[in-house]
Amino acid sequence: MSILIEPVTNVQGIGESKKSDLESLGILTVGDLLEYLPFRYDDNKLKSLPEIEHDEKATIEGKVHSEPSLRHFPRKKSRLSVRVLVGEKFLITAVFFNRAFLKNQITPGQTVTLKGKWDKHKMTLNASDIHFGPYQSDQSIEPVYPLRGEIYMKSLRKMIQQAFQQYGQLIPEVLPESLSMRYKLMKRGEALYRMHFPSSFDVLKMARRTLVYEELLLFQLKMQLFKKINREMSQGKSLNLSKEKTQAFISSLPFTLTEAQARVVGEILKDLQSPYRMNRLLQGDVGSGKTAVGAVALYAAVTAGKQGALMVPTEILAEQHFQSLEKMFAPFGIRTELLTSSVKGKKRKEILQSLSEGEISVMIGTHALIQDEVNFKDLGLVITDEQHRFGVNQRRVLREKGSFPDVLFMTATPIPRTLAISAFGDMDVSTIDVMPAGRKTIKTHWAKHDMLSRILEFVRKELKKGRQAYVICPLIEESEKIDVQNAIDVHAQLSMYFGENASVGLMHGRLHPSEKEQVMRQFAENESQILVSTTVVEVGVNVPNATVMIIYDADRFGLSQLHQLRGRVGRGSEQSYCILIADPKSEEGQERMTIMTETANGFELSEKDLQLRGPGDFFGSKQSGLPDFKTADLVHDYRVLETARKDAAELVFSEYFWKEDQYTPLRVHLEAAGVFQNDRLD
C-alpha cells in the first residue's frame, strides 16, 4: 500500500497538539495533508502606491520610518501603527489591529513587505500581513486554504512544505503513463506540489489540469465499471424481435424518421436484442419526435412476443399518448390500453385481467402502472416519458415490474452533456439532436409589462386567424409577498378583454384531475381559444393549433423551463410566437431574457442555464446525484470530462486493464471507491 496513509505525525514538527488541529480539518494521514488544497489563489504582485485604488487589497514594500506606537483598548484589543516610507517619496501609516506582539519585531530602518487594504484618503494601509524583508517574487501568488480552529496559514504551509520534503518523491503516479504522456501532464507529485507552491499562474494551471484530469478519469472509470459490472450481473433477456415487421411499422408512420430518430432507434433495437438489460436515457428537444421512437421500440418488443409499458407523469399526457399510439398500433392488430386513476370499476378490472393474461400488448398510463395490483404477463420493455418528473423510487419500482424488463427513460429537458455524463454516467445516453424538417422557428420576443395592450391586440389578430393562445402565470392566487400576476386574476382580465370573441380556459394545480382534463380537452378541441395556466401545462401536451405562448413574469422561470413552455407552440405548420413579459432588475435576469430570444436550441439553452445557475441548481435539489469534486468543476471542465470519459471507456475495455498488477495505484483508488464490490447492483 501507499506510504501516504502513514499518520500525519510522521511529518517532522507535527506533534500531538498540531495533530488534533489538523484533525479538525479532516487531515489524518500524510496523504491528506499533501492533498489539502487551497480553494483560492490571491494575486500578490508587488504594486507601487499610485497604482493602487482606494479600498483595494494590495502588497507593497517599504522601509520602517519610526518606532511603532501601540494603543490598548478594553477587552485586549489593540492598535499598532507605524510610519513606513514607500518608494522615495510616500510616507504612509501601516495599522495592525490586535497584533501587539509585532511591536518588538518592528524596528526603524528595516525593509518590510506589507499586505492589506489601502485607504487612499488617509494614506493608511490596514495591514493583514507583514513579512520582514524585501518582497520575494515567489510570493506573488498566495494560496488561500480553508481553515478553521487554531491553525494559521503560515504554520499549515510550513507543515505541507515539510511533508513534501520527506514524502514528495514517494507520491505514486495514478495515471497510466500513456495518458499522462498523451496530454503532457505533470507527475502527480509535482502537480500537488505546484498546487501549494505555484511559481506562476501558468504553472498553476498546468498543475490543476493534471489533477482535474486525474479526478475525472477516476470518476469515469468508476461509472463505467459500475455499468460494466451491472451489465454482466443483471439478468437481461435477448428479445427475439422481428426486424421486417419493425421496418414495416416504421414505414407505416405518416413521416420518415429523421436521421437522428433512425440512429436512436438503431441503438435501442440493438439493446433490446442484446442479452444485457437496457438502461438507456433518451433525450431530445421538445418536438424532436421522441414519441415516435418510443412507439417503434414498443412495437419491436411486441413483435418479440413481449408486452410494453409507457409511463408518463400526468393524465393528460397519458391520454394524448394513448390516442396517438393506439392509432399507430391498431392497424397491426395490437391492443393498446390506458390506465390512470380515473379508469375505475368494471373497466379497470377488465383491463387488469387482460393485462395479466397477455391480451393487452401495450399499456399506457400514469404512476397507476406501478401499483401492486398491476401485473403483466410478460413485460419486456418499460418506457418512462419526461423521466425527470418521476422520483428515483418510482423508476426503481418500474424496473422491478415483471422479470427484468429493458428500460428506456425519455426526457425533453435537455440535460447538458456534462451533467448527463455525470449524473447518468452509469446509463447509456441516446440523443435526438435534429428536429424534423419543415419546422418553423418560434419567434420569441421579450416585452415589458407596459406593453400589455399591444400584446393583447396581437393575440386578438391571431385568434381572428383561427389560432389559439396559451397564457402562463407563475402563481395561482394573488400573494401579498410576491407581486406577480396570478392565473386567476389574469383569467378574469382576459375574459373581460376578449368578451364574446373568445372563450378563456383556466388551469392550475389545485384543480381536480378530472377538471384539469376537461379544461385541457376543451382547449385541445378548440372549444376554448385561450388557456390561462400555471406551469402544469408544461409537460408534453400537444395542441398544434396553438400558435401563441405568452409568459407573465418570465424572469421567474429558469431557461430550461421557459424552453419547455415555449415548446407547447410551434407544433403545427403555422408560424408561432412566444412573448416573454418581464421587467427583470438584475443583470442576470435581463441576460436570461435575451438568451431566450436568441436561442431556439434546447441543448444550447441548458448549457447556458447551467453556466448561469450552476449544476446544483439545475436539477433543483441536492438529490441530483452529482458527485462532489475536489478540483474539477463541471461547468468549466466539461471538455476534460468528455475526454476522460472516452479514455475511461478505452481503459475498461482493454485487456490490459484487467490483468493483475496493471496500473496498481489506479486500482487501489478504484478499490477504495468500492467499484469491485458486487453489492452495487440495484
Give the phi and the psi of residue 635 in degrees, each rounded to 5: -70, -45
Q: How far is the CB of 438 from ligand ADP (least distance, A)?
A: 7
DSSP letter string, 25-80: TT--BHHHHHT---SEEEE--B--GGGPPTT-EEEEEEEE-S--EEEEETTTEEEE
Nearer to ligand ADP, 204 or 412 (CB): 412
| Nearest partner of 14 among 22, 26, 6, judged by Cα | 22
Report if residue 542 touches ligand ADP, rule: CB under 6 A: yes
Does 115 contact ligand ADP by CB under 6 A?
no
Q: Which of Mg ion, ligand ADP, none does residue 31 bind to, with CB < 5 to 8 Å depending on kind?
A: none
Site for ligand ADP in 137-196 (CB under 6 A): none
Which C-beta is closer to Mg ion: that of 4 or that of 293? 293
# chain residues binding ligand ADP, by CB under 6 A: 17
289 binds ligand ADP (CB under 6 A): yes
674: left (phi over 0), alpha (psi -120 to 50) or beta: left
Using rule CB under 6 A, residue 291 touches ligand ADP: yes
Q: Are 62 and 49 in contact (CB under 8 A)?
A: no
Residue 444, interface with ligand ADP (CB under 6 A)? no
Asked whether the beta carbons of 500 and 474 are under 8 A apart, the reply is no
Greatest CA separation found in the chain? 100
User: What is the closest distance, in whole angstroms, from the C-beta atom of residue 401 to Mg ion in the complex?
Assistant: 22
571-610 residues near ligand ADP, rule: CB under 6 A: 571
Q: How far apart are the C-alpha atoms of 81 and 69, rounded to whole Å?
A: 5
Minimal CB distance residue for Mg ion: 540
CA 124/CA 147 separation, integer angstroms: 28
Site for Mg ion (CB under 5 A): how many residues? 1
Smallest separation, CB 540 to ligand ADP (Å): 6
Q: Pick one of Mg ion, ligand ADP, none as the site partner of residue 576 (Cβ within 5 to 8 A by kind).
A: none
CA distance 560 to 415: 9
- Residue 95 or 549: the one with the smaller Cβ distance to ligand ADP is 549
- Asked if residue 520 binds ligand ADP (CB under 6 A), the reply is no
Shortest distance, CB of residue 414 to ligand ADP, whole angstroms? 11
257 binds ligand ADP (CB under 6 A): yes
CA distance 536 to 313: 11
At 613, list the grid cell. Answer: 445557475
Q: Which is nearer to ligand ADP, 285 or 647 (CB)?
A: 285
> Cα(513)–Cα(527) distance, rounded to whole angstroms?
19
Under rule CB under 6 A, which residues in 378-417 are in contact with ligand ADP?
Answer: 412
Task: Give the interface segment with ligand ADP, choosing from 1-9, 255-263, 452-460, 472-480 (CB under 6 A).
Answer: 255-263
Q: Which stretch binds ligand ADP (CB under 6 A): 134-142, 167-175, 257-265, 638-646?
A: 257-265
Q: Which set of grid coordinates corresponds to residue 279?
A: 438502461
Determine the distance from the C-alpha atom of residue 374 to the mean position of all C-alpha atoms in its chain, rounded to a whole number: 34
Interface with ligand ADP, residue 292, by CB under 6 A: yes
Q: Please answer whether residues 145 and 39 qualify as being in contact, where contact means their C-beta atoms are separated by less than 8 angstroms.
A: yes
CA distance 405 to 378: 9
d(CA 490, CA 594): 25
* Nearer Cβ to Mg ion (290/667): 290
Q: Which of 289, 380, 425, 540 binds Mg ion (CB under 5 A)?
A: 540
Task: For the chain, report the end-to-end CA distance as a whole number of angstroms.
Answer: 31
By beta-carbon proximity to ligand ADP, the closer residue of 286 and 316 is: 286
Question: Which residues would be at the binding site for Mg ion (CB under 5 A)?
Answer: 540
Question: Which residues would be at the binding site for ligand ADP (CB under 6 A)?
Answer: 255-258, 261, 284, 286-292, 412, 436, 542, 571
